[in-house]
Amino acid sequence: MKKIKIGIFGCGTVGQGVIKVLNDFGALVEQRSGCAIEVARVVDRSLKEGECPHLDFKKVSKESDSILNDSSIDVVVELIGGVEAAREFVLAALSKGKHVVTANKALLAEHGAEIFQAAKKADCDIYFEASVAGGIPIIKALREGFVANHIEAIYGIVNGTCNYILSKMQESPASFNDVLKEAQEKGYAEADPTFDVEGIDSAHKLCLLASLMSGQWVDLNKISVEGITSLSNEDFEYAEMLGYVIKLLAIAKESKNGELEVRVHPTLLEKKHPMANVSGVYNSIYVKANPVGDALFYGRGAGAFPTASAVVSDIVDVARNIVSGTPNRIAPFWKSAREKKLKAPEKVESEYYLRFSVVDTPGVMGKISSILGKQKISISSVIQKERNEGEVVTVVVLTHSASKLKLAKALSEVDALEVIHQKTRVICLEREN
């Protein structure tokens, strides 16, 4: 049996999870893959003896060259997180002919075009299943399972922190800040949750999903991103009344002209939508493809063992490639660094939830309807609670499909009306079909 030696950069939560999985399930891995995986070296500058019970501490080093310059190590596993140091290690490993497995979505989203070209030049593998949705095998599905399919759209709940917060706000009248604090206390949110709650983490993951979907590189900086911090309990109350839930969705959707819409934002989902009941810290990805139809993936998107499971899966894939002499099997997805043409955000069309805060006076709804009508934005439904004339009242409107540009023009005029008490709240809407 061929023995494949790996070197691991970073032995934190995920790194230790990988070592434990290989220790506990090594025999199963060998049986199923025909390869024996050996952890030959671990580079971690802060790991102390005894912190990782299944690791021989003699294999731990503080020097990156102990992996990079060891010709017996076949595969480098990058688990340090961050971007710049990880980029340096990955490019150095590829330059020395070592295959790479990484869980680092930020690294690939920001420098993927460069890294995949380096892998192609070195005729080396780079696998990244754990970079999106933890233990859900979505990368393998897009790369291999759907190889005969034209993928029309991907919808993802890919950030467990945000999904936990939104699920709690849907269930109870707790404020965003209160639920965030609870998530931090339970370890579901970082001390600084900015990357999660502002949608940046979801955008990193969407960049990779959309690139696999299109077969061309999607520029992270061109993805439209909106987080969840401005959502209020009132929005969840009205969503419930209308038969919707609110989720932070990462969306990649092909337009009729072949352009790709790529966006991250809070979204109203009909309760009968397959993703509407994905709650807590769980992730889900919904793929619309031809000829297979619709497919839904669900599972844990983070954590030591779901992520470690994905990393070990990648290690085994690379090991099989080494044994069979077929490296760089995913190269067709990255033939060049050509960028995929994206649809301009202002041209993207959607249905919308609009929450107006207005002084209740005769004719106010007529004024709003007239302004929307000038931009050819039609209304599908309206909710207005009873109030005394002259008081501030909330009016919620659901619209039919309209471009973001037309909506922006209409709302700039609406929000300038004297009867408007505060800026209109806008949330995109997705129906089950």
CATH number of the domain encompassing residue 366: 3.30.70.260
Catalytic residue among 98, 168, 205, 340: 205
CATH classification of the domain holding 213: 3.30.360.10
Residue 340 lies in a domain: no
The pTM of the full predicted model, rounded to 2 decimals, is: 0.93
Instruction: Examine the domain organization and report whether 36 and 107 are in the same domain.
Output: yes
pLDDT tens for the 433 residues of the chain, in order: 789 999 999 999 999 999 999 999 999 999 988 889 999 999 999 999 999 999 999 999 999 999 999 999 999 999 998 999 999 999 999 999 999 999 999 999 999 989 998 998 999 999 999 999 999 999 999 999 999 999 999 999 999 999 999 999 999 888 999 999 999 999 999 999 999 999 999 999 999 999 999 888 899 999 999 999 999 999 999 999 999 999 999 999 998 888 899 999 999 999 999 999 999 999 999 999 999 999 999 999 888 999 999 999 999 999 999 998 887 776 555 555 577 889 888 899 999 999 999 988 888 889 999 999 999 999 999 998 766 667 888 999 999 999 999 999 999 999 999 999 899 999 999 986 6
Q: 12 lies in a domain?
A: yes
Assess whether 384 and 244 both reside in one domain: no
Is the same domain home to 277 and 415?
no
pLDDT at position 391 is 84
Domain end, chosen from 244, 276, 300, is at 300
Is residue 120 in some structural domain? yes
pLDDT at 326: 82
205 is catalytic: yes
Please indicate, yes or no, whether residues 180 and 212 belong to a single structural domain of this protein.
yes
89 and 51: one domain?
yes
Q: Is residue 339 part of a domain?
A: no
Is 107 among the domain residues? Answer: yes
Decide if 35 is inside a domain.
Answer: yes
Domain of residue 45, residue span: 2-133+304-334
Instruction: Say how many domains are in the chain.
Output: 3
Output the pLDDT for position 392.
Answer: 87
Residue 210 sits in the same domain as residue 63:
no
Q: Check whether residue 9 and residue 122 sit in a common domain.
A: yes
Asked whether residue 164 falls in the same domain as residue 236, the answer is yes
Handedness of CA 348, 293, 108, 338 (dihedral sign): negative
**Domain annotation covers residue 198:** yes
Same domain, 295 and 319: no
Whether residue 10 lies inside any domain: the answer is yes
Residue 260 shares a structural domain with residue 351: no
Same domain (yes/no): 289, 168:
yes
Q: What CATH number is attached to the domain comprising 111?
A: 3.40.50.720
In a shared domain, residues 193 and 288: yes
